Each structure stands twice: as C-alpha cells, then as structure tokens.
Amino acid sequence: MQIIPAIDIIEGKCVRLTQGDYQQKKIYNENPLEVAKQFEDAGLQRLHLVDLDGAKAGTVKNWRVLELIAGKTSLVVDFGGGIKKKEDVDIVFNSGAALATIGSLAVKDESLFVQWLLTYGADKFLLGPM
C-alpha cells in the first residue's frame, strides 16, 4: 500500500475548502514546502498537489509552489488544477511534476487529451476527480 497525501493550494497557502466552497476555506499552513517536508520526513514518497486557484481560473496558477516542492524534496509530485492547454502541461512538467492530474478535460476534450498522451506518454498522466 502506498499513502499519497494531498496539499490543496490557494494563493500559495495550504488550505481546505468546505464542500468545495472557495468562500469557506481554512488555511492550514502558509508554507506548503514545510508541509511537504513533513510528509517526506515521515517516509512518504509521493505528493498530490492541487492548484485550486488554477482549477477556478482554468489555467495553472501555483506553479511556483510546485517548483519549490519538486526542487527542495525528493517527493514524486503529481500536480492538478487548471491544466486545460498544452502550455499548462509544459509549465507543470517544466516546474518539476512527475505526473499531471487531468480531470474534466479528459472527458470534455478527449482529442486534446489523447494528443497529450501521445506527446508526453500515457505514464505521465493521472485521471483525477471531475
């Protein structure tokens, strides 16, 4: 069994939403790298990083948080939220994600998603919540 913790990010901070409501957010930690290092220190090897700003905006926003965590930990990071176009995929991989988590786009624009699978490799993507 492998445990994969998740960090949800809004404005560069670790948050949790109540029932997906952006107006009902609780900030758990202002430093996502600190949280990621705690996971790493606990022996975990993977991290699911969710860009809630990106999910809302429809384009990747918190790539700098990804870059920081990927560069300062040995965690295998999968990143999701706001990945809607090729430029977003490039930002995610260039910022250090091992995997990109794709949600509704995989269903809404199947041909684009298939292009990504062919371009980057199917092993670089996870299908996430929609």
For residue 19, name the pLDDT band (cuts at 50, 70, 90). confident
Tokens found for residue 44? 């975990």
Q: Domain 6-127 falls in which CATH fold?
A: TIM Barrel (3.20.20)
- Provide the residue ranges of all domains of the chain, joining segments of one domain with +: 6-127
Digit-coded pLDDT (tens) for 31-72 = 999 999 999 999 999 999 999 999 999 999 999 999 999 999
Length of the chain: 130
pTM to 2 decimal places: 0.93
Between 110-120 and 86-94, two packed helices, what is the crossing angle to 10 degrees? 40
